[in-house]
Amino acid sequence: MKIVRTVQDLRRELDEARADGRGRVGFVPTMGALHEGHLSLVRAARAENDVVVLSIFVNPTQFTEAADLSGYPRQEAADAALAEGAGVDLIFAPEASEVYPSGFATTVHLSGALTETLEGAARGGAHFDGVATVVAKLLLAVGADAAYFGQKDAQQVLVVTRMVADLGIPTRIVACPTSRDDDGLARSSRNVRLSAEDRTRALAIPRALAAAAAAVSGGEASAEAVHGVAAAVLADAGIEPEYLAFVDPASLEPVRTMDAPVLCAIAARVGEVRLIDNAVIEPVAGTEGGAA
């Protein structure tokens, strides 16, 4: 495994791989602080490609809170060891000046519900501008056949998929299932900042998702009623969500009835740590097709 810092070196390594007959490239973009969730994406990429590239870049333009940016863990040596063990061939770990050189003046902006609701509303429009811009730059630098993202960041997956389609970037976007710890908590680099007490409280988030799904399985079709069920689980743990939303999984438009697959998305602070999670809730058999 090699670590490269510049786009020029990245492309040289990939050109050499293609010349050796290893033409199919899979890409896993990360901000480092790797955990099992990232490694599951690497394994998915490894299974389908000849070469696996993983990027490590803490993107400053997608952070709306300076403390979140400064506090984001940076552990390249540990990350490199994990990446190599999971089957990564090449790590792209650029400096900020490589991604945003002097005079950089371009932003990729998507409008509409995909970027203006949920995380866009909570974190501001600049968040997804930062995400779209850096992912576009990384995809163009790597030239991968496929890029792998976790479904925990469901809105990000939709934004990236829309951007790739709109800009004609020839990379297939693959959404992989949310990786969870044995207790059900969605894996996140932020989880290490949870105290033992807050870690226990945070388990109310996946429990709320499960309670919502159970309510629908039990025949409840009102999104408002299901919202109440999930909100009660969070409240019992002393968690006030930033949002608890029931939306169309493709458009993120709000829904009123649970008669088609619905994305339930939650964002909440537990202690000082902001967590997100989601699940697609399937309707009771035979109720699909109604008006949302």
pLDDT digits (tens, 9 = 90+) for 19-64: 999 999 999 999 999 999 999 999 999 999 999 999 999 998 887 6
Q: Give 195-249 pLDDT, tens digit per residue.
A: 999 999 999 999 999 999 999 999 999 999 999 999 999 999 999 999 999 999 9
Instruction: Identify the domain boundary among 116, 147, 176.
Output: 176
Q: Which of 136, 70, 124, 128 is nearest to 99 (CA)?
A: 136
pLDDT at 7 over 60: yes
Active site residue 227: no
Counting the structural domains of the chain, the total is 2
| Residue 103: pLDDT band with limits 50, 70, 90 | very high
Check which CATH number belongs to the domain holding 134 and give it.
3.40.50.620
Instruction: Identify the domain boundary among 130, 154, 176.
Output: 176
pLDDT, residue 292, reads 34
Which residues carry a binding-site annotation for (R)-pantoate?
A: 62, 156
Check which CATH number belongs to the domain holding 203 and give it.
3.30.1300.10
What's the chain's Rg over C-alpha atoms? Answer: 20
| Residue 284: pLDDT band with limits 50, 70, 90 | confident
Range of the domain at 259: 189-281
8 and 153 fall within a common domain: yes
Instruction: Give me the mean pLDDT over the 167-181 stretch.
Output: 98
Instruction: Identify the domain boundary among 176, 199, 215.
Output: 176
137 and 218 fall within a common domain: no
> Across-strand partners of 54?
28, 91
Which residues carry a binding-site annotation for ATP?
A: 31-38, 150-153, 187-190
Query: What pTM, to 2 d.p., does this model score?
Result: 0.93
Selected catalytic residue, list 38, 109, 127, 227? 38
User: Looking at the domain assignment, is residue 9 inside a domain?
Assistant: yes
User: Looking at the domain assignment, is residue 288 inside a domain?
Assistant: no
| Residue 278: pLDDT band with limits 50, 70, 90 | very high
Instruction: Give me the mean pLDDT over the 253-277 stretch.
Output: 97
Backbone torsions φ then ψ of 100, nearest 5 degrees: -125, 80
Nearest-angstrom CA–CA distance, 210 and 207: 5
